[in-house]
Structure 1
Amino acid sequence: MNTEEQAKLVSACKAHDRTAMEKLYTMYVSRMIAISMRYCKHQTDAEDIVQEAFIKVFKNIHRYNHTGVLGSWIERIVTNCAIDHWKKTKKTIYLDHENFESQDEIHSVDPSETDALLKELSIEKLRVLITDLPEQYRYVLNLYAIEGYSHKEIGHMLNIKESTSRSNYTRAKKKLLERIIEHNITY
């Protein structure tokens, strides 16, 4: 969709045109479910998150200022809804890593080894491995490595310390590497 078509579609959505809203939803729903699946294990949860996100999209479409890509704006809303969903459903409190592990244990993964394996791993296999990570690792990994947030921003979003975000990211990479080796996954 070019920028002129996008502007017309957004203007129609701002005017509460149901046909335009349906077109916007249909255009982006599959992509947004895929993004939501990065944060949850179950398709139904991903669909609920996307549903909530599109409600927010249509309630706040008047705030979209036509700069940037519309899909990116919607992605950010989906990501925020996924974080909100996680906050509502999490049942455990994650303590800072300093209570459990030494710094040496946390940083025992060879970064070059991890990066080399992850670069060659297929997207689908990597998605499955990420989905199997514990929630706190999965969220930090997605927010940092895929969405591009800083550990400070992640800490603020998830109500954890910046150092906890860093250690959860390191642990996520370590667990991914262990699972790749454990399952003898070929690239």
Structure 2
Amino acid sequence: MNYRLGFLSKKKTLTLESALDACVQTDAERAKEFIYKKYYGYVLAVVARYIKSEYDAEELVNETFIKAFKNLPRFNRVGEGNVLEKSFRGWLARIAANLSIDLLRSQKNMVAMEDVGEQEVKPVLVNASDKLFAEDILKLLERLPEIQRIIFNLYEIEGYAHEEIGKMLNIPDSTSRTYLTRAKQRLRKLYIEEFAIGKQ
């Protein structure tokens, strides 16, 4: 009877909470595999917003998980269920975004920044009636200049502050704000050209 109970406990379905516990407490391979499989597609989608090479993207996904597993004891667990899920996904996304930026910087693929001032660009007001659907925006992001795409991703999708982006990219935070505004202007223009006209 005891053997049977032990067998069942080993086969127990993992949840994010139990997998995180197992990783931190015993470095359990089964728990790591569960997390890797569950979030692989999500992390790849984050990396693909920055990195075009399929090979490099795959490598960065693996690096993200290696770094995440190594730093799991430092992950600030908040709540459970959906709250924990959202928090963990955000944490993984930040690791993936940072590693992607590091790779771009090391490959010197970052576009040289021209001097820009906030006064050069008028702010863009976007409201719900603009109907900028997320999937449409993600398609259009590919057509932005690299620096605008990177800053849009970091600010609007990953949730970094302009001060953090400035430090990551070694630019003033005012430059980050300017490029974000330019990205939004260009996205609006592309959206109108690509989608709005056809949907009228």
Give distance in 2, aligned partners of 1:71 and 1:117: 26
Give distance in 2, aligned partners of 1:64 and 1:152: 22
- CA deviation digits over 1:42-67, x for unaligned, max 9? 44443332121111012222322433
Give distance in 1, aligned partners of 2:35 and 2:164: 29
Are the equivalent residues in 1 in contact too, given 2:47–2:60 (CA < 8 A)?
yes
Q: Which amino acid in the other structure matches residue 119 of structure 2?
A: Q
Deviates more, 1:166-175 or 1:142-151: 142-151
Give distance in 2, aligned partners of 1:54 and 1:22: 10
Q: Which residue of the other structure, out of 23, 44, 69, is the alignment partner of 1:13?
A: 23
CA-CA distance at 1:79 after TM superposition:
1.9
Aligned to 1:146: 157
In structure 2, stretches of 5+ residues that fail to align are: 1-13, 79-83
Give distance in 1, aligned partners of 2:51 and 2:128: 24
What pairs up with 1:106-185 in 2 under 5 angstroms? Answer: 106-107=121-122, 111-112=124-125, 115-116=126-127, 119-183=130-194, 185=196
Give distance in 2, aligned partners of 1:95 and 1:81: 24
| Partner SS for 2:114 | coil
Aligned to 2:7: none
TM-score by length of 1: 0.80
CA-CA distance at 1:36 after TM superposition:
2.0
Q: CA RMSD in A?
A: 2.6
Are the equivalent residues in 1 in contact too, given 2:93–2:158 (CA < 8 A)?
no
Q: Which amino acid in the other structure matches residue 21 of structure 2?
A: S
Q: Which residue of the other structure, out of 36, 40, 56, is the alignment partner of 2:67?
A: 56
CA-CA distance at 1:32 after TM superposition:
1.4
Higher-RCO chain (CA-CA 8 Å, sequence separation at least 6): 1
Are the equivalent residues in 2 in contact too, given 1:36–1:82 (CA < 8 A)?
yes
In structure 1, stretches of 5+ residues that fail to align are: none
Q: Which residue of the other structure, out of 85, 108, 115, is the alignment partner of 1:96?
A: 115
Give distance in 1, aligned partners of 2:130 and 2:42: 22
Give distance in 2, aligned partners of 1:45 and 1:139: 17
Deviates more, 1:126-135 or 1:70-79: 70-79
- CA deviation digits over 1:73-114, x for unaligned, max 9? 22221122122122222344313214xxx834x22x6x23xx
Aligned to 1:72: 90
